[in-house]
Amino acid sequence: KQEVTQIPAALSVPEGENLVLNCSFTDSAIYNLQWFRQDPGKGLTSLLLIQSSQREQTSGRLNASLDKSSGRSTLYIAASQPGDSATYLCAVSEVDSNYQLIWGAGTKLIIKP
Amino acid sequence: DGGITQSPKYLFRKEGQNVTLSCEQNLNHDAMYWYRQDPGQGLRLIYYSQIVNDFQKGDIAEGYSVSREKKESFPLTVTSAQKNPTAFYLCASGQGAGGELFFGEGSRLTVL
């Protein structure tokens, strides 16, 4: 059974630093992987979607990579800003599970001014 | 504006009452989903629908019911059979299986 893990559960860094958030999964037979952002008490916002055939995707200051063989994805945030403070969640979909998403518990990121 | 609208944002329920959470989307998406979110846990799928008049149980469907009579609407009823209904409920939609998901702002249900 697929399991998705995000470590650490919380991270605090000074403004301006580049940082990496981690997502690991136990079964490499995924269809795609998605990264989301969630602000407190709000819904989720899709950040990046990486298909299983892709190695990375970029959007602005965000870059997500995917290494299926090792069961890992990273979300790189360049030049962090206080507005980046949020919880970041990753989720994988599988063909065998009818494409339903399996979620990590998230990493709560705090950017200190 | 295109998007997903959930209502109400906050809801209080007495034990033994059924409540219905609304989810409407104008993105013309075929698939719609209901998730439950509890502190410190990943999202858990309650129900999903990939086409009008059809829906499937997710991992935690017991105590919940849904309908999909229109493409743009996917209401969730939390019944009195749900033993621990206090949670944050999220509705999402997407175009096709495995596609990017778009979420509403969520509904927070508290049982008094």
Instruction: Indicate which of B5, B9, B29, B43 best probes the interface with A, i.e. most A CBs within 10 Å of its own CB.
Output: B43
Mean pLDDT (chain B) is 93
A105 to B40: CB separation less than 8 angstroms, yes or no: yes
What is the Rg, in whole angstroms, of the alpha carbon atoms belonging to chain A? 14
Q: Which of B45, B93, B101 to mutate to test the interface with A (most CBs of A within 10 A)?
A: B101
Q: Is A34 close to B100, i.e. CB distance below 8 A?
A: yes
Cα dihedral A99/A104/A109/B1 (nearest 10): 30
Between CA B111 and CA A22 the distance in angstroms is: 35
Distances (CA, A) of B81 to B21, B62, B64: 16, 8, 8
Q: Is the pLDDT of residue B16 over 90?
A: no
- Are residues A89 and B43, on separate chains, in Cβ contact within 8 Å? yes
Q: What is the pLDDT along chain A (113 residues), one digit of tens a residue?
A: 899 999 999 999 999 999 999 999 999 999 999 999 999 999 999 999 999 999 999 999 999 999 999 999 999 999 999 999 999 999 999 887 777 899 999 999 999 99
Q: Is residue B98's pLDDT more than 90?
A: no
Residue pairs spanning A and B at CB distance below 8 A: 55
Q: What is the distance between the alpha carbons of residues A68 and A30, in angstroms, rounded to a whole number?
A: 8
